[in-house]
Amino acid sequence: MTSIDRHTDTTGRWREGLLSLMLVWAMLLVASMAVLQADLIDGLHILPIVATLALLAGWLLGKSVFSERTAHFFALVYGLFIVFYLVGTTLPFDGPWRERILELLGRQFDWLQKAFDGGTSRDGIIFVIQTTAVFWLLGYLAGWYTFRQAHVWRVVVPTGIVLLSVVYYYNGPRPLLLYLAVYTLLALLFIAITHVTAEERGWRSAAVRFDRGIQFDFLRAGLVAALLALLLAWSLPGLKANTSISAAMAGAGGPWRAFQDTWTRLFSSLRSYGAGTSDPYQDTLVLGGPRTVGNTLVMDVQVAKELPYGVYWQAIAYDTYEDGGWRATESDLDELIHYPDDGPLDVPFSTSRTVITQTVTNYLPNSSFLYAAPEVISSDRQMVVDATFDPNGRTLITSLRSRFILRQGDQYQVTSRVSLADGNSLRAASTTYPQWVQDRYLQLPDTISPQTLALAEELTAGLTNPYDKAIAVRDYLRANIDYNDQIAAAPEGVDPVHYTLFDLGEAYCTYYASAMAVMLRAQGIPTRIISGYALGEYDEAQQSYRVRAVNAHSWVEVYFPDYGWIHFEPTQTIPVAERPSAGGGELTSVVDEALAPDPESLLPPEDQLDVERADGLLGGVGDESANQGLLGRAGVWQILVGLALLGVSGATILAGVRYNRRVEGDVDRSYIRLGEWAGWLGLPWRTTQTPYEQADTLVALVPEGQKPVRSLTRQYVLQRFSPAKEAEGDFDAHQEWRDLRPMLLRKRLTQLLSRPPKKK
């Protein structure tokens, strides 16, 4: 072969597949830009650069004459350098590069420690490091499997899964679904070009003549077919929320939920968004017109015992009445992020309460509220707490939302302190209200009619305490206002409470609660409106309440110094559980009765469970997913692919953790692992040494690990050489390793970084 022929052959080999290269590059850029647009955390602007460099590395190494092992080794070296260099530039300090590398590695080791020990990581740089590494791997493998080993699905699927997971779990304002559509279009074109390129190779080898413009024709036909496929997919109905399917998935989704919980625990620094949620309640509660009936499944709430009526599932508290509706306080309202390992919420103390734990299974497509019995003190979810503060800095909760959107079948656990105060105690409660209570919960607008104020005065005349006044107003409303959820809204210029009491004589829950709250405030009694759900239908076998849209409800809470907020039920069709009248010596029995009430006395007849209808309040919860296309969030294929990927990842992590615990929990294998660490640190144990001499070798390298090393060695000696042939019964090998492992990792890292470069 002449030099010209060799030059032509080499040039053609490097030019071959340039169209495929451009398509793969576009796919990687679309995926990286989607992650960047999701705005999960600062520092991800380097992803398009990393993806581009990784693809070039995969292309060049795939076209090279290097063996597969050598090419992968070079890719690893290049990847480590580029990832650490680019991520290092995002660190908020300008120290030397050695310190930056140590900082990044140290943070990564801290993250691993939390991953194994169940801690919560709030270090955002970890997500940047790992996401950058993932995109390096995606780019390199895309180039490799395009130009060295032709595996089209190994190019398309991994990047597509990463993009799909971002689109599926993102709930922010940006239309990331378009990125998925563009990626799908590019992927279909890439598949078409790859196919025709492979066919051309076969035709050349068989000396078959073909039109040189066939690639363009094939690309054009592929583009038309891809667009038609996307339009068809967009028009297909999505997976509509179904009660049976949701319940079945919830029952079988334990490992999936465990993986989700682990993800949010280890990447708690990521931003979350509330847009796109199907929450039925907002920051305002309008007294509007009629509502329609619905029976959408909302949640199951599992409790240890059946609860008395008066314990409802709270969503949000409203404190300001104006313009014919209620709203939550907006001035000085803060959004706090509360992590499970922060401990209980710092709420004001109130007496005569007992703690109950609720396990809630959510069935709404995209929900953010954490529903629970009041007052909530803790949750196993990261919570966004909408709250203000009293003069002592105690948290005054308006609502609790999950920091990461709840999907169908997701579970969370909430702990609440439920009031057990008896009637006599509340009658004797102080009426000296703190100033913050008076300022916030006695507010009334000038639009309250004189007739409403006069009625409040008439109903409470002669009564000497807020508790009896609240009972009097409650009973009046239940006896004189008929239930009707099809009433028209109040006419323009007429206060809805006046309209309910004097013009209409009919109401549903928000009107009942508003009338009671306004009349009590007119008498100087602090009140607020709570929206959420009534108990629902109790399943004794499952010890669980099934809550549907029909149970949506609003009620009244009255503030009693020392006892906190106490529930009152003014709605005519909802059963009332009267608080027992008891003295101090009888309080214990009252607590027991409240936790396990007599069903005959506290529970309503079966046909009264669902009389409070509120589907209109929910605004069609559960119907939105029926209108989404196959590319929507509830599409079958998204769920299956996402479950498969995360299931495999979760199973791999879980298997590794379990194997590690088995090794470290076994005395003999744990001691062998000590020897392996000694070898990795450069001082392998000699067989002529005794176990204690071997341990001293490791202690000499890691003096701070003296206690766990010698403790592990002692248990090994006891099990192998003592007459009883067993370790001490109270010995906890896992705790010893939790203390020792970070010390060994730091020592090994220090050795690697301090190793002098080899002389040439």
- Reported as a single tens digit per residue, the pLDDT across 316-359 is 999 999 888 998 876 555 678 888 888 899 899 889 898 999 99
Mean pLDDT of 456-476: 95
* Cis peptide bond upstream of 606, omega within 30: no
- Cβ–Cβ under 8 Å, residues 172 and 39: yes
Does the pLDDT value for residue 545 go beyond 60?
A: yes
Q: How far apart are CA 308 and CA 545, in angstroms?
A: 12
- Cβ–Cβ under 8 Å, residues 633 and 365: yes
pLDDT tens string 48-58:
999 999 999 99
Q: What is the DSSP letter of 503?
A: I
547 vs 97: which has the higher pLDDT: 547
* Burial of residue 406 (number of CB atoms within 10 Å: 0-12, 13-18, 19+): buried
First to last CA, the chain: 39
Dihedral Cα 102, 657, 166, 35, nearest 10 deg: 10
- What's the pLDDT at 212? 58
Does the pLDDT value for residue 116 go beyond 70?
A: yes
At 297, list the tokens: 């499944």
Three-class SS of 504-534: HCEECHHHHHHHHHHHHHHCCCCEEEEEEEC
- Cβ–Cβ under 8 Å, residues 139 and 51: yes
- For 337, the 3-state DSSP assignment is strand
- Residue pointed to by tokens 């996307």: 230
Q: How far apart are CA 38 and CA 53, in angstroms?
A: 22
Does the pLDDT value for residue 30 go beyond 50?
A: yes
- What's the pLDDT at 218? 60
Q: For residue 414, which of 426, 401, 424, 405 has the smallest C-alpha distance?
A: 401
- Cβ–Cβ under 8 Å, residues 155 and 143: no
Question: Could you tell me the pLDDT band of residue 622, with boundaries at 50, 70 and 90?
Answer: very low
Question: Could you tell me the pLDDT band of residue 208, with boundaries at 50, 70 and 90?
Answer: low
Q: What are the CA-CA distances from residue 305 to residues 195, 239, 314, 355 (Å)?
A: 63, 35, 18, 12
- Residue pointed to by tokens 């003190």: 377
- What's the pLDDT at 229? 64
Mean pLDDT of 430-456: 93
pLDDT tens string 664-700:
778 888 888 888 888 878 888 887 788 888 888 888 8
Question: Could you tell me the pLDDT band of residue 613, with boundaries at 50, 70 and 90?
Answer: very low
List helix spans (H) across 118-207. Answer: 124-147, 152-169, 177-205
Q: How far apart are CA 276 and CA 256, in angstroms?
A: 22
Listed range (201-205, 489-493, 546-550) with the worst mean pLDDT: 201-205
Instruction: Give me the residues paired with residue 482 across strands.
Output: 506
Residue type, 242: N
Those residues whose C-beta lies under 8 Å from the C-beta of residue 213, and which sit 6 or more positions away, are: none
Does the pLDDT value for residue 630 go beyond 50?
A: no
Q: What share of the chain is helix, strand, coil (3-state, %, to 5)?
A: 55, 15, 35
Mean pLDDT of the chain: 78
Q: For residue 123, which of 113, 136, 137, 135 has the smallest C-alpha distance?
A: 113
Mean pLDDT of 507-534: 95
Q: How far apart are CA 87 and CA 376, in angstroms?
A: 40
- For 242, the 3-state DSSP assignment is coil
Does the pLDDT value for residue 150 go beyond 80?
A: yes
Does the pLDDT value for residue 385 go beyond 60?
A: yes
Q: For residue 652, which of 641, 644, 640 has the smallest C-alpha distance?
A: 644
Residue type, 74: F
Question: Could you tell me the pLDDT band of residue 360, with boundaries at 50, 70 and 90?
Answer: very high
677 vs 497: which has the higher pLDDT: 497
65 vs 91: which has the higher pLDDT: 65
Question: Could you tell me the pLDDT band of residue 651, with boundaries at 50, 70 and 90?
Answer: low
Instruction: Give me the residues paired with residue 418 across strands.
Output: 354
- Residue pointed to by tokens 């997971």: 165
At 362, list the tokens: 């959510």
Q: How far apart are CA 515 and CA 69, in angstroms?
A: 77
- What's the pLDDT at 275? 47
- For 512, the 3-state DSSP assignment is helix
- What's the pLDDT at 302? 93
Longest dimension (CA), the chain: 116
- What's the pLDDT at 390? 87
Q: What percent of the chain has pLDDT over 70?
A: 73
Does the pLDDT value for residue 83 go beyond 50?
A: yes
Q: For residue 258, which of 110, 134, 118 has the smallest C-alpha distance?
A: 118
Mean pLDDT of 191-197: 75
Instruction: State the Cα angle at 266 between 265 and 270, rounded to 5°.
Output: 90
- What's the pLDDT at 659? 67
List helix spans (H) across 390-526. Answer: 423-427, 435-441, 450-460, 466-480, 496-498, 509-522
Q: What is the DSSP letter of 729?
A: T
Q: Which residues of 734-753 are buried (b: 16+ CB within 10 A; e: fewer)?
A: eebbeebbbbbbebbbeeee
pLDDT tens string 240-262:
444 454 444 444 445 555 666 66
Pairing, β 313-318 against β 527-533: antiparallel
Q: How far apart are CA 703 and CA 612, in angstroms?
A: 68
At 422, list the tokens: 């008896």
pLDDT tens string 736-759:
888 888 888 888 777 776 666 544
- What's the pLDDT at 438? 93
Q: How far apart are CA 542 and CA 527, in angstroms?
A: 35
At 732, list the tokens: 């906890």
Question: Could you tell me the pLDDT band of residue 437, with boundaries at 50, 70 and 90?
Answer: very high
Q: How far apart are CA 146 and CA 699, in angstroms?
A: 51
Does the pLDDT value for residue 591 go beyond 60?
A: no
Q: How far apart are CA 29 and CA 266, in angstroms?
A: 27
